[in-house]
Amino acid sequence: MDAKDDMDIAANPNLARDLITNPALSINNPDNADSAGKPVLTAGMTFLGQFLDHDMTFDPTSSLERQSDPESIQNFRNPLLELDSMYGSGPNASPHLYDQSADGQGIKFLVEAIPDSSAVSVGGFARFDLPRNGQNTALIGDPRNDENLIVSQLHMSMLKFHNAVVDYVKSELGLMNPGEVFTEAQRLVRWHYQWIIVHEFLEKTVGQPLVDDILTNGRKFYKWRNQPFIPAEFAGAVYRFGHSQVRPSYRSNFGPVPADINSQVFKLIFNDSLPDGLDPNDLRGGKRAQLVSSIGKLSSILGMVRYEPIRRLTQSCQPCCLIW
């Protein structure tokens, strides 16, 4: 998409698809590719950045309608990249986030299978949505992670990852006490998450040389006393560059026949001309995932993000928060 491009989807019903597949619509804005033609920063990284933002900062008190004193703003998040936006206050204080069944034991997250989704999925795999109440409000640790389909499915995928790690801790590490299982699973999930931030997200966002320099030589500019905090300049200005990375449309699903473009799902991220309903024809959040719009796996969202096996990380990785 280029500035001043025609965004009239009524005139072109295939606009969401054409913005991705038609090179003529990106003459002045070519894809960011390396010498081998591979994208340097895949589309899903934008939403990983959004997920990270929601994990670092949360200010439900400020308003755009009044001026706020930066010194008095309280961060309702723990800015240590510990996934409190997902875990909430834990199984005891946030029981509505956790599966209280015999299998879940109150230490796995609630997830909802989308009925009949396996019939339209590659390999016949079921797809999942965030758990929701009767008014479609997502039952998650941070309501902002249901702002659009992609970040909500990323959050859901992290919930499923935690649940899989719970099973791993029981079967491979032999822990059985629910409290001990949860603590160990949470530790492993956080380590994987932090590894992705340092070795994927930051490397692709600020570059490998800068990451290596900070890991080797430490911080140069950021100073804090008593406890870490998020500078207002970072939260309100610097990190908001991610808004400029949002694309007008996304290929949210490859459908049951990935090679067939008519099987793939293309939608505008937001289409304000559409009335609000059960399933508007865009990627807005706050809706139960329908068969044609849900995303099945974390790898589908993040594209080129690579994951290291749990066994390797438990042996070699230590918690690290590069920003600090």
**Structural domains of the chain in order of their starting residue, each with its CATH number:** 31-59+72-279+286-316 (1.10.640.10)
241 or 72, which is more confident: 241
Predicted confidence (pLDDT) per residue in 34-43, tens digit: 777 676 778 8
Q: Helices 45-56 and 149-173 meet at what angle, rounded to 10?
A: 80
Q: How would you classify residue 4: left for phi > 0, otherwise alpha for psi between -120 and 50, otherwise beta?
A: left
> DSSP letter at 276?
P
CB of 153 closer than 8 Å to CB of 297: no
Burial class (CB in 10 A: 0-12, 13-18, 19+), 303: middle
Predicted confidence (pLDDT) per residue in 174-207, tens digit: 999 999 999 999 999 999 999 999 999 999 888 9
Residues β-bridged to residue 33: 39
Residues β-bridged to residue 86: none
> Mean pLDDT over all residues of the chain?
80
pLDDT of res. 314: 34
Residues β-bridged to residue 156: none
Rg, Å, the chain Cα set: 21
pLDDT of res. 44: 87
- Mean pLDDT, rounded, for 130-148: 92
Q: Helices 178-196 and 149-173 meet at what angle, rounded to 10?
A: 130
Share of the chain above pLDDT 70, in %: 78
Q: Which of 231, 79, 87 is nearest to 145 (CA)?
A: 87
* d(C-alpha 313, C-alpha 315), whole Å: 5
Predicted confidence (pLDDT) per residue in 274-320, tens digit: 878 777 888 889 887 665 444 433 334 343 333 333 433 333 333 33
The model carries a pTM of 0.82
Per-residue CA distances from 243 to 44, 68, 201 (Å):
13, 22, 16
